[in-house]
Amino acid sequence: MKTEKLRQNVHQLLASQRLAALSTSDKGNPYASLVAYSFSSDLRFIYFATTRATRKYGNLMSQPRVAFLIDSRTNQVEDFHQAAAVTVLGRCEEVAEETKQHAAELFIERHPYLQEFVEAPTTAFFSVSVDKYIYVSRFQEVFELRIADASDTTP
């Protein structure tokens, strides 16, 4: 698959879903959480929010490498032939209050019902600098999109 087509497929999948499984690490033990997310149009960043009192927040403070899983499954048999999934790998950091306006606006535009949550003083807003996307379709076609160098894909 050509890079531009892969970018379109990744963008379309991210745009079609509202939630992702976020994987963090707790002293070497994996930990998964369901989070609402948004993303930059150039696919370089994923954004999400969490309360500072959560386990995921503590994990992110001690180990900023994360993975997201976003997929199109519908829990139907057809998913085995039609569903697509993307794993997003990157490095996460809390966005400083003075620089979060643009990213928070993207997030709230996508999730207006979470505006109060995002603006609460107990909420941390995060940005993930994406290293790469691993796109899987039909459970067997695997393509990689590296964001840093936008290199072509390999099955």
How confident is the model over 7-41, as pLDDT tens digits? 999 999 999 999 999 999 988 899 999 999 999 99
What pLDDT score does 151 carry? 43
CB burial string 4-42: b at 16+ within 10 A, e below: eebbebbeebbeeeeebebbbbeeeeeeebebbbbbeee
- 144 Cβ contact partners less than 8 Å away, ≥ 6 residues apart: 132, 133, 134, 135, 153, 154
DSSP states of 15-82 as a string?
HH-SEEEEEEEETTEEEEEEEE-EE-TTSSEEEEEEETTSHHHHHHHH--EEEEEEE---SSTTHHHH
* pLDDT, tens only, 60-113: 999 999 999 999 988 878 777 788 999 999 999 999 888 888 889 999 999 999
Architecture of domain 3-146: Roll (2.30)
